[in-house]
Amino acid sequence: MALVKGRTLPVIARKDLSALSKEKTILLAILLQLFVAMFSSFLMVGLASLYDPSSISGYTGIKYQVGYSGEESPLKELLESRDDIRLYPMDLSTAIAALKERQLVAVVYVPDTSPDGKEPVTITLYTVQNDIQAAIINVKLKETLLLYEDYLRVIRAGRLVVLPVELEFPDPAGAPVFYEFVYGLLIPLLLFMPAIISAALIIDLITEEYEHHTLETLLSAPVSMGTIIWGKILACFVLVPLQAGAWILLLTLNRIPISSVPLVMIHVMLVSLFLILFGALIALYYRERTGAQVIFSLAVVVLMLVVLATPGNPFNQVAVLSTGGPGAGQVTVLALVTAGIMVLAALIQKFAKTTID
């Protein structure tokens, strides 16, 4: 009997994998991940700009035309000293008209308030609303405006009654935004996405047997309900290392090195197996695709919120291990995930023995 199960399990898995190859939705989801992994270096620049718009301020080599209106001030000298800004002094009305015609990217208006005066110095900045170029120039002008703010603080320092506490922060090395984005978001997202897809797949594979009334046909062969379920679980689980391994290879080809690949894969595969078993359990309980998928989606959202709020969670472990870090506490995390897998496996075995409706 054990020999029959050993032979039947791969047969069921191959049958389900063959059926999945004809599902356009699944193929499109995998191709989308493939696109992200293949062009991760290119996409990283655009997505990182959404994560932190200041990250793209240093990647443009053109000069931006900025109009300057109002009184003469040290701010004008600071703007003229920049290599990426070409300043045009003009009247405010003329400057606003040029901005509307897209001849300028921004207009800076400086009031006649004296730097050492009592009133606040209110600088007005005019830009084009909802424009990508405006987002870039905002970042560039922010740097100069902060320098002018420091200048005003020095000029008006004599008014201070209580001296402020000076804070010194170390300068970040390299490109922290890209580093955080790639290893903190992109890599965990790509590597754990196959787990979510495979978990959703197992629900479809199990519930369609109930909805199409094909379980009776399968059970007429010398196989048990448990063998059928574990064959489907195997089919979904095989996709995880294939996809995750492909993403790691493509990321490496995009010059995004990933350290501790074996440990990273262990975390990904165990978490994936946990989610697949969780999806299978929900499918066995509800036996209806729509309801099972809704419950699974809600449960995964809640589960992810709880997990992400826990220090040393699997997502954090993958991010740390990918950078070459020690991954402190990973043994505990792996033990907890393994315990959860064993519990789910026992529950699946129990539900697999129930009578078919």
DSSP three-state, residue 259: coil
Q: What angle do CA 30, 33, 34 make, to 5 degrees?
A: 85
The amino acid sitting at 106 is: A
Residues of the chain with pLDDT under 70: 1-61, 130-133, 160, 162-178, 215-223, 327, 354-357
Q: What is the pLDDT of residue 1?
A: 38
User: Going edge to edge, which strands form the sheet with 106-110?
Assistant: 85-89, 64-70, 106-110, 124-127
- Residue spans of the domains in the chain: they are 2-38+175-352, 54-159
pLDDT digits (tens, 9 = 90+) for 327-347: 677 888 888 889 999 999 888
Q: Is the pTM of this model over 0.75?
A: no
CATH number of 54-159: 3.40.190.10
pLDDT at residue 108, rounded to an integer? 92
CA distance 4 to 271: 29
The reported pLDDT for the residue numbered 8 is: 65
Query: Cα 262–199–205 angle (5° rounding)?
Result: 130
CA end-to-end distance (rounded Å), the chain? 26
pLDDT of the residue at 30: 63
Place of tokens 């299978």: 280
The Cα–Cα gap between 267 and 319 comes to 11
Q: How confident is the model at residue 5, as a pLDDT?
A: 46
Whole-number Cα distances in Å, 87 to 67, 234, 299, 320, 333: 6, 65, 56, 45, 57
Contact 16, 231 (CB under 8 A): yes
